[in-house]
Amino acid sequence: MAIVSLREAINQAIDEEMARDERVFLMGEEVANYQGAYKVSQGLLQKWGPRRIVDTPIAETGFAGVGVGAAMVGLRPIIEFMTWNFSLVAYDQIVNNAAKMLSMSGGNFHVPIVFRGPGGAAHGLGATHSQALESVYAHFPGLKVVMPSNCKDAKGLLKTSIRDDNPIVFIESEVMYGDKGEIPDGEYTIPLGVGEVKKEGKDLTIVSWSKTLAHTVLKAVDVLQQELNVSIEVIDPRTIKPMDYDLIVDSVKKTNRLVIVEEGWPFAGVGAQISHEVTSRAFDYLDAPVERVTQEDVPLPYAHNLETLSLPNLDKIRTAVKKVLYID
């Protein structure tokens, strides 16, 4: 297995899919001549040329709309947002056109398009550049939402997303682009809607995804297992919609306790939906109410100390874990 960075894994996925299918192209701000704002598209312009690696003006509504139209007539665009915060400018194109076109056209127009780029908080970028928007996009029928937490998943899930005939919201994390990990040799894909048990355990289940899983939860679990002498199972759904509820429910039936940790805000968050599904399907197995750890219900502060206090962290996860285990 090769060891690559997450940005390299995404680059490989795009490159391989462009080689496999001439209808695939990449479009967005600074993806071509600048090699990508985060260097994800490095080398692709030189290999594939300006017809398939397309720089755009700072006009998200415009190039998202061009992408939707291109997908409707048979191409397979990858639309890069420099950050998912900027996708809000193109919100109408994503949720009113891409998401609804298949249904409203009576099945005549598929929209095989991938909207991708970094989302969530980074480091001190302020409230308007730090938003976790997965629950917003997962709310709309017609969109699939994908959030990888490691290099292997980033490549495998992106390749599957590019091949999918539906519009995909593919949310990465800019602070993970430098993370390194093993990826399988040769061709591989990962199906959407299939989660993964990242760590086996028997006393409680933690569900989390993307950067929060990779950078916060797994580290917290290592600390808390030693500190509290408990065995914690960790599940990564990998795709927010469709969600692998069966995997989560089966884990809860084994551990009888559930903590959900997400970067998004508490009201109508992804964790609220997971909690509903678990309590509906496995209520009699729960030995404690489901606990959620989220970002505080405020615009994310710019100051580092306040940003740290607002986001999920070890102390918040410890409190939730102790609560479901009835540890004072």
Given the structure tokens 């990564």, which residue do they identify?
236
- 303 φ/ψ angles, rounded to the nearest 5 degrees: -60, 135
Residues recognised as catalytic: 60, 129
pLDDT band at 316 (very low <50, low <70, confident <90, very high): very high
Q: Residues 81-108: pLDDT tens digits?
A: 999 999 999 999 999 999 999 999 999 9
Residue 183 is classified by DSSP as E
Q: Residues 28-81: pLDDT tens digits?
A: 999 999 999 999 999 999 999 999 999 999 999 999 999 999 999 999 999 999
Give the strand order in the sheet containing 239-241. Answer: 53-55, 24-28, 76-80, 114-118, 168-172, 144-146, 239-241
Q: Among 3.40.50.2300, 3.30.565.10, 3.40.50.970, 3.30.70.1230, name the CATH number for the domain at 2-183.
A: 3.40.50.970
Distant-in-sequence, close-in-space partners of 178: CB < 8 Å, separation ≥ 6: 5, 6, 7
What is the average pLDDT across 173-189? 96
Question: Cα angle at 115 between 16 and 46, to 5 degrees?
Answer: 40
Q: Can you say whether residue 190 is alpha, beta or left, with left for phi > 0 and alpha for psi between -120 and 50 degrees?
A: beta
d(CA 158, CA 14) in angstroms, rounded, equals 8
d(CA 207, CA 7) in angstroms, rounded, equals 24
Q: Among 3.40.50.300, 3.20.20.70, 3.40.50.920, 3.40.50.360, name the CATH number for the domain at 196-324.
A: 3.40.50.920
- Indicate the average pLDDT of the chain: 97
pLDDT of 308 > 90? The answer is yes
Residue 116, beta-bridge partner list: 80, 170
**Same CATH fold, 196-324 and 2-183?**
yes
Please report the sign of the dihedral spanned by the C-alpha atoms of residue 177, residue 232, residue 290, residue 320: negative
Distant-in-sequence, close-in-space partners of 146: CB < 8 Å, separation ≥ 6: 157, 158, 161, 168, 169, 170, 171, 192, 238, 239, 240
**Residue 268, pLDDT score:** 96
Domain positions in the chain are 2-183, 196-324
d(CA 79, CA 26) in angstroms, rounded, equals 6
